[in-house]
Amino acid sequence: MTSSILITGITGLIGGNVLRAILALDSSFEITALVRPGTSKSRYASFGDRVEIVELDLADIKGINAWLESRNFDIVMHIGALRGGRKFGKQTYLKANLHSTQAFCEYCLKTGAQLLFCSSVGVFGAIPKELPAQNLSPRNADNYYHYTKIQSEGYIQKAVLRGLKAAILRPAITYGPGDNGFPQTLVKMVEKRIFPLIKKRVWIHLCHIQLITDAFIWLLQNDWESGLALNVADREPVQLHALVNFIYRQKRGKNYPALLQVDEGWFSRGEKIARCLKNELWISRFELISKSWFYKVADTFELMQLEPIFTIPSFNILIKGKR
């Protein structure tokens, strides 16, 4: 039996890979994808004629609601969102991230469709208040992007009590081909010997693109209890020192120069300045490379029987363009 899927976020790293994986399945799906008006066709041309493309901004809530009235979907995969660091006003973030999620929740409640939602481990803050962060860990709205994800999860879980069939996946910072975020920046800075490596031991927890892709495909192919919420990241966290040395050895055949290691005080001063300037992006940048952040993922691997992926050596997917 053919299922009809609505998917958002296909021009992003996660959404694009999830859509490619769906198209590769033996099962047939009728797929409709929302893209922001004005998006270059080159960003989704590879999906071909099997995907109906609809230009509709996630911040256009009236437009979304009006359009949904005439459509019938079995599954809504809401992966798209405005990420932190982009220059949009708070109201735009609120509409695109929270209000669109609310609109899809209400649509799914009305029609009986399933909602598969891509949240973020950012609901625990850039740096979780307890480690490893898990479902009962405190939420921390330390920036507006994280706030919208916290509010979205809360709305979904309340809708579950009203009968919504929904699952939430929280990927950690994700790496893979096409990534332009923290992992790719890390590789470039290490190669150029301009990455300030903190001297203390720091653990970080990244997510291979294949893991979050496989997790979404598992939700499509299996039954699960509504309200399911899972963190998705590599099987174990990795020491930042070990990862930086691994990158540098792959690029230059030796460990990262000890002279480029920086005392903890340097990061503390930089973070204080960023906080005084109320610059959320720079606060996160200082925190991510000077403090530990990792998550409970054993239950995710156990439930979904995901192939365990370890950041080292899998980070080669960025360094050398292969897994």
Q: What percent of the chain has pLDDT over 90?
A: 82
Model confidence over 100-154: pLDDT tens digits?
999 999 999 999 999 999 999 999 999 999 999 999 999 999 989 999 999 999 9
264 vs 106: CA distance, rounded Å: 47
CB 54 within 8 A of CB 35: yes
Say whether pTM exceeds 0.85: yes
203 closest CA partner among 243, 232, 173: 243
Model confidence over 203-246: pLDDT tens digits?
999 999 999 999 999 999 999 999 999 999 999 999 999 999 99
pLDDT, position 323: 42
pLDDT, position 85: 57
pLDDT, average across residues 309-316: 97
β partners of residue 51: 31
Domain range annotation of the chain: 3-179+205-237+294-310
pLDDT, average across residues 198-205: 95
Pairing of strands 51-55, 29-35: parallel
Average pLDDT, the chain: 93
Pairing of strands 51-55, 75-78: unpaired
Is the CATH code 3.40.50.300 the one for domain 3-179+205-237+294-310? no
pLDDT, position 49: 87
